[in-house]
Amino acid sequence: MSNRITAIRGFNDILPPESRVLSHIEYTAIEVFTSYGFSEMRLPVVEKTELFSRTLGETTDIVEKQMYTFSDLSGTPLTLRPEGTAGVVRAYIEHALYTKAPIHRLFYRGPMFRYERPQKGRYRQFYQVGVEVLGDEGPFVDAELMEMLSVILERVGVKGAVFEINSLGCPGCRQPFRQRLGGFLEELKERLCGDCTRRMERNPLRALDCKNPTCRELTTNAPDIYDYICEGCSAHFDGLRAALDGFGVPHRVNHRMVRGLDYYTRTAFEAVVDSPRLGAQNTIAAGGRYDGLVKELGGPQTPCFGFAIGMERVALLVDRSLIGEEPLFYLIPLGTEPQQRAAGLASAMRMAGMRCMMETKRGASLKSAMKRADRLGAAYVLLLGEDEMKERSLTVRNMTDGTQRRLPLDTFIEELRQGLP
């Protein structure tokens, strides 16, 4: 019997080179976020369970089935965060950020946790980068953030993303729609799945989001929220579509999309890509407007909009050829005096921003050192022996074609950076 300890199902080790792909997505997103005026907020991984049950909705799949919840030593119920928005809003209220500026543009990143069936690009510990705008109610900001997301996807080489959009109305116009939809579902109660029948009274809109094929077919002719939304919500949605057209962001209306969280109002969207790489689920990023959430948690009335990117999902679509990496130089000193000199050369290269590793095994043969360099993926080997020391030079060998040349020690870094041999 093996004594090895393995990772928990759905909690994956992300190893090179895949870790470099996720870093590329994250750094690209942060670069774009910053160019749009966003600042980073670092959030706790664990929050009080009440935060999520109040914000996400007690009838959502996340709260009912997917949260990692436990009690600490004091008996306080805690939960590993399943999403980022609730934590941002909690911090926004707790630190009274609304007193410091009328509008805040914030982004976050890090792991989220949901107990769901692991599948392609979806794990129980997964990574997100997301943004929230707090204090701006116009439809232009909704469109601007979708355009920002499209820029990120374009820069990492994801092609064919389409934004599916919907309006969920406001509490005022959504109530009569809920009543009408509830009556419609009541007539189908005996044929709907257990989840839909259980949620009918508290949140009948969730039936439109049900993935059960039978439920989807039964609700094909369900009432349409567009027959109920008020003039203000209608104007907001028209403004969103006009702004998306102005930005050139491809989009289509999906009347059935309600998203899986209760806090959304007005705009909801998903960025979808039809690709066999994604498996059964084609959503790679999603978000929407949540104008009542800050007030619900004890803060002032604050309009908000945000989205999150599923990094593992995007990683399945990333064009790897666009991910550049500095070449690795492997410095091999041959002899005692070269060994002492090589340490300073390696340090100088690293200070210049170059990737450099040095052969540290004393007395190693050139052949064995070259093999190590090759296994490590070195693009160039730098040889420093007695002859090079006398001539104050360095031999540079190209590991791809085997060519080599000598460079002066005084200028080799500049010459390598200007044009590799």
336-377 tens-digit pLDDT = 888 889 999 999 999 999 999 999 887 778 999 999 999 999
Domains and CATH numbers, the chain: 18-170+229-321 (3.30.930.10), 326-415 (3.40.50.800)
Phi, psi of 48 (to 5 degrees): -65, 140
Q: Does pLDDT of 40 surpass 80?
A: yes
Question: What is the Cα–Cα distance from 44 to 51, expressed in whole angstroms?
Answer: 13
Look at residue 61 in the predicted model and tell me its pLDDT.
Answer: 66
User: pLDDT-derived band of residue 192, with 50, 70 and 90 as boundaries?
Assistant: confident
Q: Which tops the pLDDT comparison, 304 or 184?
A: 304
Look at residue 281 in the predicted model and tell me its pLDDT.
Answer: 79
pLDDT in tens, 127-172: 999 999 999 999 999 999 999 999 999 999 999 999 999 999 998 8
pLDDT in tens, 235-282: 999 999 999 999 999 999 998 887 656 778 999 999 999 888 887 778
User: pLDDT-derived band of residue 299, with 50, 70 and 90 as boundaries?
Assistant: very high
